[in-house]
Amino acid sequence: MICSNKLWLNMYNISFTSRFRKDLKLCQKRGLNLSHIQAAISILAEKGSLPA
């Protein structure tokens, strides 16, 4: 889900930059938990902003 260049969900189209994909790959190599990033991207795609 998070690796694709464009993610189509309910309301907004999320497109990732090359820099974001490289940073995400680095996080994966370091063994970091990416579930928080996936959750934030899902919220952004649905609502357009993150809660405070």
Q: Is the pLDDT of residue 1 over 60?
A: no
CA distance 30 to 50: 26
Predicted pLDDT of residue 12: 80
List pLDDT tens digits, range 39-49.
Answer: 998 888 888 88
What would the DSSP string read from start to end of 28-52?
HHTT---HHHHHHHHHHHHHSS---
Asked if residues 35 and 2 have their Cβ atoms less than 8 Å apart, the reply is no
List pLDDT tens digits, range 12-41.
Answer: 888 899 999 999 999 999 999 999 999 998
Question: pTM score > 0.85 for this model?
Answer: no
